Each structure stands twice: as C-alpha cells, then as structure tokens.
Structure 1
Amino acid sequence: MELGQNQPMKHIRSEEDNNNNNNNNNNNEADRISSLPDCSIVEILTRLPETKHAVGTTTLSKRWKHVWHSVPNLRFVCYDDVIPGFFDFVDKTLTQRPQLKVNKFVLDACYDNVFESRIDNWIRYAIDCNVEELNLTLRRIERNARRIWIVDRAADFPLDQFVFACSSFVDLTFSGCSFNPTGAVSWKNVRSLVITCAKLDEDVIGKILSGSPVLETLELKSCYGFKRLDVKSESVKTLVISGYENMPNFEFGEDGFEINAPNILSLVIQEDVALSKFCLRNVSSLVEAELDYWHGTNEEYEKTLKGLILSLRHVKVVEIGGYCCKVLNRLEAKGFKRPSNLKVPTSPW
C-alpha cells in the first residue's frame, strides 16, 4: 500500500480508557454482588470485622441502603484517640437500625464518666433486641493536665440491674465492669460466662451462680476479692482461673484461697496467681486438669504446686504447663515422686 492512501487507524489505549475499564469491572463486580438475594448479602456483611464497615456499604446503591439493618451481629470498637466521634457514630447507628433480632453485640471501648449513660443505652438496645451473646470490654480514660488520654485497663463500669435481669443471654463476656446486682440475677439461658478484671465477693458469685441454672463454663480472669470459690451448681462442668489479682489493701489472711467445686469435670489454673495459699477443697468429680500458672517465691510456688498435684491424684489426666514444669523439676530433684497421671511437655521451657 502506497503512502498517502487511507489506512485504518489503530486505536491506542489511553489512561482514561484504562480507568473506564477498571470502573466498569468494579461496577460489574458490585452488580454481581447486588444481584444476590438479601440473605446472602446479609451473610457477607455479617462477616465484616466491624459494624462501621457494614454501615459503609449504604453508599454503594439504593439497594444497599437498608440491608445492613438485618445484620444480626453488631461490633463497635473504639480507639482512645477517637472517642467523641465514636460515641456519636454508635448513637446514630443504633437510632437508624430498627429493633431487629441481635445475635451478638460486641463493645470494645474507652470511655469517660460522661459517656456511661450512653453505653447503658446501647446495652439496653441490645437487650431489647433479645441479644444472645454480649461481649463488653471497657477501659476508663481521663485527661491529665497536658490533655493526654490516660487509659485505665481495670475500669469499673457499673452494670445496671437490667443486665442481671435479662433472660435472653446465652454467652457473656465482661472485662472492666463492676458487679453489684441490686436484685435477683436471672440469666436463665447463660451457658458460658467470662469475667475479667473485676472485684467479686462470695455473695456476688453466689447470686450469679444461683441465677444461672444452665451455666456450663465459668472463667474468671485476673479477678480478686473472694477467698473461697463455691461452685456447687450441677450444670457447671468447666472452671477456668486465669490469674488471681492481689489488689492493694486486700488481705488474704491465713485461709488463702480455696476452691469447692464438687461437680466440675475440667479445671484450668493458669497465669499469675498472687496467693500465698491455694488449695482444692472438693473437686471429687474432676476428670481433667491443667496447671500452668506462676506464683510467689520459689518456696511458696513449690509448696503450693505440690499440694495441688497431690490433691489431683484421683484425676484421670493432669497436664502440667511450662511454668509449673520448671517447679516440678525442682521438686523431683528434692525427691518428690511424680504421680502417674501427670502429663508434662516433651520440651519444657
């Protein structure tokens, strides 16, 4: 073909064309998701890590504007540098959402005293929606003279009586809350209860256990204030003690700390147990136990561990963790005979 004759022009892809194609691809992906039935979209939104991500999908299209209302799991997380905006967001979100069923409500938040009533309102909203799993992790903050947020990990957010009167709960996790029920505890369907960083006395524990007739698992993490743990409930089968805090101005006296739990099948004692004496009064039904805690001076540690091991000779399997294994080795070097039911790590620390 000679020069000058008409030739078909070869189209050269511009950056604008590429952007348009990318947008079209994104739109196609969005269209494919939007074509799914509502139940499938709700399932996708339920798997998002936080509720704010589900709420953010309202901008995708009119179809998505109200879909997030049906998401049964609500999870709100607050970092200590975004407090005012966080509380406004949660208020707005729960105001916009109808009182539809809530399976799981998670609140992991830093707060100041002025926000306590708003948190109460959020918990009440979840309860009004017949929430089954409630998970509260609360940290109190204060400003110092330099206007810096100070986070108190051991907050004591006061749980209102309406929390203790809710019968829809099945799974409860509390961290940084204070327990002072003014009436009866009515946790008729609770099967698992985890309490972290709380002062608990024997009366409060008794109220909780008597008001939780189907409770199966009780876990106390870094709690304090009680010298005796009476778990006489026939339903509780697993007891976990993850640390026991020796708080200032709290005296243990000569009695130390003892556990009376004749019906439990599994016992775990782990992390820092700040006690001079620790004994098992009655764990006659126990089938398995795990000891992986650290405690006091070497002499106290050895004495306490030896006593626990001997009181667990009737148990089928007693698993010894890394911390206790070191102490067990010292005891054996002094002539202690290891019971046959002990299971130790193959490679101890």
Structure 2
Amino acid sequence: METVEEGLNLPTIAPNRIESLEFVEEDAEDRISALPDGLIHEILSCLPSTKCAIKTALTQCRQSKLKKFVLYTAYDIRFESQFSNWIGYAMNCNVEELNLTLWNTDLKAEFLLDHSFFDRSSFTDLTLEGCIFDPIGAISWKNLRTLCITFGKLDEDLIKNILHGSPQLETFELNYCYGYRRLDIASKSVKKLVLSGYMVPYDKFEADIIELNAPNISSLTIQDELLLLKLLLLNVSSLVEANIDYRNSETTPEEAKEEMLKGFILNLRHVKELKIGGFCSEVVSRLEAKGFIFPSNVKFASS
C-alpha cells in the first residue's frame, strides 16, 4: 500500500462499524478524487459494503481548521478508543460543526465525552446523540450557536453549566433527554428552544412533572412523545411563535391529556401564532366537544 501524505495521521477505521463519515475542510470542495490512491484504497477496504459511504470530502487538516465533522454509527464499546481518536483528530483541527451520532437500541447515552471536549472555542454547531456529559469545572463553548442533544441525561446544574458556558447560543434542542425537573433558560442569547420527547430509559410510567422557565426565547417547539404527567410553562413571555405537536402515552388518562393541552393553549394566548399539529388532533376534538373555545391565535395542522 502506498504511503499517505505526510501529516495526515488519521486514526484507524473500525471495520464493519462506521456507517457514515464526513470531513469538510473549510471553504473546500469535494476533493475525494484528489486523495492519494493508497488512502482511497484503505478507506474503501474498511467499509463493509457500498451502502456505507463517505458523504463528502475526507481531507487532511492542512490549514489548522476543519469546517465540519460527522460520525454516524452504532455505538460499540469495543471501538470506543477509535471513536475517541476520530473526535480528538477533529478537535485538534479546530472543527466548527461537529455531529456525533452514536446510537444504540437502548435509547440511552453510553459514550463518555473527554473532559477536553468541554473547553473548545472552535465549536459553533454541536449535534450529540448517545453521549455522556461529565465535565470537570466550567464548560467553555464561547462561540457555540446551535446545540442539539439526544438521549442525554442532564440535571439542572449541568444545563446551567452548558448555558453559562455558551454565551452566544441561539438554538437549544433536547431530544428525549431526561434527568431534569426544571428547565431554566435564563440566557438572553437563546431564542429558539425545541423539546422533542421526554422518556426515561426503561421507565414507561408518566411520573415526572417538568417546569419550563424561559423568559427570553421567541420560538418554542414541543413535539414527539412526552411520558410526563405535566409540562408546566412558567414564564415564556417573549414568545412570538410556538409549535405544539406531541403525543402522550396510551396509558395517560384522557383527562390528564386534555388538561396538559389546555394548559399549553391558555399559557400561550399571547403568542402571535400557535400551531397545533396532528398528534394532538384527538385531544383537540374532545376539547371542542366539551365546549372549549380556542383563542384566535391557534392554527391547526390542516389549516
């Protein structure tokens, strides 16, 4: 096999495991064809089939900055060190947009992020699925603007640490995260909040009551499955738009479902436009049948 260009120093690829890799050098076009033949051969020989692909350019970090890095694969503890090597490589290249999707069938986080991960000024966009957060000290993501966390266990102190360490954060998205009882989004920079589902792994009971205090956000989305008794909106006074499209568990009492949706509607009367999606249609019909009058700002999915 030919020797790859000096300075590349890529970690070993885990055979039959990596489903998608994407490296994009800043301001670079797709240059996969420009890679040395030996490197292309090595990459292709490690991929289990043609279904697995490198989406765009896999390039060496020549200019000390990597625009985007995507790793999408099933998590396997046997390859944990190799995942860490890939991530370390991206961070050493001052990656800006980082997407780590390490999924598993248990819908829980298993990959422990290194402590150095939480002190990176180069990050502008983070998408993290299946990752364990355990920072030592204060988080410092001073240029981060978008953060999406999926299947993460987050308590109130950790969320506060994230927000305090991300002074430019504009969009905060939590997908099936759990471990908190109160979401206190006091940051003045965060304008868009997305809550996609709430479910504690291995717990099918709706035992939680979540409080949301976010006085500065202008956009709120609540969607997907909420295994909750209640989601209380304490202060969302700056909201301009809201999108509600969630479903409760089948075991949730009908009255509880109605009270939750009614609570959202009444607490969002000040919003310019409140969109209610199809997942809420059955509850909407029952409220209408009981004579509930929907405010004029409500727009339904079919309208």
TM-score (ref. length: structure 1): 0.69
In the TM superposition, residue 317 of structure 1 has moved relative to its aligned partner by 0.6
Map Cα deviations across residues 183-209 of structure 1 (whole Å, 9 max, x no partner): 210000000000001111111111100
Structure 1 residue identity aligned to 2:130: G
1:120–1:325 CA distance, 2 compared to 1 (3 A): same
Flag the 1:176–1:342 CA change in 2: closer, same or farther, 3 A.
same
Counterpart of 1:281 in structure 2 is 234
The offset of 1:44, in angstroms, is 3.3
Residue 158 of structure 1 is matched in structure 2 by 112
Q: Does 1:327 align with 2:283?
A: yes
| Paired residue secondary structure (1:324) | helix
> CA contact under 8 A between 1:246 and 1:275: conserved in structure 2?
no
Q: What's the CA shift string for 1:282-320, capped at 9, x where partnerless? A: 001011100000013222111100011000011111001
Deviates more, 1:120-129 or 1:274-283: 120-129
Question: SS of 1:109's equivalent?
Answer: strand
**What per-residue deviation string (whole Å, max 9, x for no partner) do you get for residues 12-38 of structure 1?**
xxxxxxxxxxxxxxxxxxxxxxxxxxx
- 1:187 corresponds to 2:141: yes
Structure 1: state its 5+ residue gaps. 1-38, 46-53, 60-64, 69-75, 141-150
| Residue among 247, 252, 271 paired with 1:294 | 247
Equivalent pair of 2:113/2:132 in contact (CA under 8 Å): yes
1:171 pairs with 2:135: no
- Which structure ranks higher in relative contact order (CA pairs < 8 Å, sequence separation ≥ 6)? 2
For 2:17, the equivalent position in structure 1 comes to none
1:1-40 mapped onto 2 (5 Å cutoff): none
The percentage of counterpart residues that share the same residue type is: 53
Q: Structure 1 residues 42, 276: CA separation in 2 closer, same or farther (over 3 Å shift)?
A: closer
Q: Judge conservation of contact 2:205–2:227 (CA < 8 Å) in 1.
A: no
Q: CA deviation at 1:344?
A: 0.9
Q: Deviations over 1:249-306 (max 9, x none)?
A: 69876x7111000000000000001101111000010111000000132221111000
Instruction: State whether structure 2 residue 72 is matched by structure 1 residue 116.
Output: no
How far off is 1:339 after superposition?
0.5
Q: Which runs of 5+ in 2 are unaligned?
A: 1-24
Give the structure with higher Rg (CA): 1
Residues in 1 aligned to 2:206 and 2:275: alpha-carbon distance in whole angstroms: 28
CA distance in 2, matches of 1:42, 1:240: 31
Question: What is the match of residue 155 of structure 2?
Answer: 201
After TM superposition, list the pairs within 5 Å mapping 1:57-206 onto structure 2: 58-59=36-37, 100-139=64-103, 152-206=106-160
Tell me the TM-score normalised to structure 2 length: 0.79
Q: Which amino acid is the alignment partner of residue 130 of structure 1?
A: N
Give the letter aligned to residue 162 of structure 2. I
Matched residue of 1:44: which SS? coil
Cα distance change, pair 56–155 in 1 and its aligned pair in 2 (3 A): farther
Query: Amino acid of the residue matched to residue 275 of structure 1?
Result: L
Cα separation, 2, equivalents of 1:283 and 1:115 = 43
Equivalent residue pairs, number = 266
CA offset at residue 121 of structure 1? 1.9
Structure 2 counterparts to residues 231-242 of structure 1, below 5 A? 231-242=185-196
- Say which of 300, 305, 312 aligns to 2:261: 305
- Which SS does the other structure have where 2:87 is aligned? helix
CA separation of 1:115/1:56 partners in 2, compared to 1, >3 Å: closer, same or farther?
Answer: farther
Structure-2 change in CA distance of 1:42 and 1:317 (3 Å): closer
Letter in 1 for 2:165: G
Supply the distance in 1 between the matched residues of 2:147 and 2:200 (Cα, whole angstroms).
Answer: 22
Quote the Cα distance in structure 2 between the aligned partners of 1:112 and 1:246: 21
Q: CA deviation at 1:97?
A: 5.9
Aligned equivalents of 1:42, 1:249: Cα separation in 2: 46
Report the 3-state secondary structure (helix = DSSP H, G, I; strand = E; otherwise coil) of the residue aligned with 1:43.
coil
Tell me, in whole angstroms, the C-alpha distance in 1 between the residues paired with 2:220 and 2:65: 35
> Deviations for 1:67-101, whole angstroms, at most 9, x for unmatched residues?
x9xxxxxxx9x98x78xxx9xx9xxx88x765742
1:139 corresponds to which letter in structure 2? W
Q: Is the 8 A contact 1:156 1:198 kept in 2?
A: no
Match of 2:29 in 1: 43
Instruction: Tell me: CA distance 1:294–1:152, structure 2 relative to 1, closer, same or farther (3 Å).
Output: closer
Distance (whole Å) between structure 1 residues aligned to residue 147 and residue 28 of structure 2? 28
Amino acid at match of 1:229: L
